[in-house]
Amino acid sequence: MMTNIDPDRVPKHVAIVMDGNGRWATGQGLSRVEGHVQGYIALRNIIEAASDLGIEVLTVYAFSTENWRRPEEEVEALMRLFAKAAHQEMENLMQNSVRMMVSGRFHELPKEVQDSLSADIEATKNNTKIIFNLAINYGGRSEIVDAARALARKAAAGEISPEEIDEKTFSQYMYAPELPNPDLLIRTAGEMRISNFLLWEIAYAEFYVTQVLWPDFNKEELINAILDYQGRTRRFGAVVEETKR
């Protein structure tokens, strides 16, 4: 597929709020669970597309800390899907040199999900083409609270003084401190809200909202988002700075 993307200005880190699985399923006369299955298929394709386009990190919002409030049957089906997908995708991740990471309160997930994801994380730790970061049982406020707790414990133990804590220090206690902050945040299904996603990390991210429901989001839609990003001027609080990596 030919594109007008400038390869020198591809966003290094793209984050996506994958919204619209339920609405897609309703529109097709299917169950919400089937919508999530189709969303998983779309995600597989987007990981490959992101890698092909030169994106180095892809973070997706798969399950929030608030999603436990959904109907029990739907939550259980999602957990089974996470475990099954992680198991099935091992070979694909290795073949495409995808490194798997997880952000969120991992220890609260069902053991089957933890085991499947842990196997992927361990097997792919030396892969280098793209980092796929799965935000699961994730909440932006929870991440900030967990970082504050970790720093508070160090301060109480006399290992760090409050005066030493600045933004750089605080960032080191987030779930994935080794990753660069997102350059581009994409939200599907037309919703105009952050939904407690990467609250600390997206301070200077560019937003792109599309009406396309997540199961219909494809490489062409990702290209559209990147082209829109490349048409903007990123200032980072200054007067003018050209869009760049």
Residue among 21, 52, 67, 92 flagged as catalytic: 67
**Residue 216 known to be catalytic:** no
**Residue 52 known to be catalytic:** no
Spatial CA neighbour of 36 closest among 207, 200, 214: 214
* Alpha helices, H only, 124-188: 140-156, 167-171
* Residues 201, 198: Cα–Cα separation, whole Å: 5
Rg (CA), the chain: 18
Spatial CA neighbour of 200 closest among 163, 145, 153: 145
* Residues 241, 245: Cα–Cα separation, whole Å: 11
- Residue carrying the six token digits 């605080």: 170
Residue among 4, 6, 8, 19 flagged as catalytic: 19
Residues 6+ apart with CB under 8 A from 133: 57, 58, 59, 60, 101, 102, 103, 176, 179
What are the Cα distances from residue 79, in Å, to 42, 70, 209? 18, 12, 27
Q: Could you tell me what percentage of the chain is helix, strand and coil, using 3-state DSSP and rounding each to the nearest 5?
A: 45, 15, 40
Asked if 112 and 167 touch (Cβ cutoff 8 Å), the reply is no
Q: Annotated catalytic sites, by residue? A: 19, 67
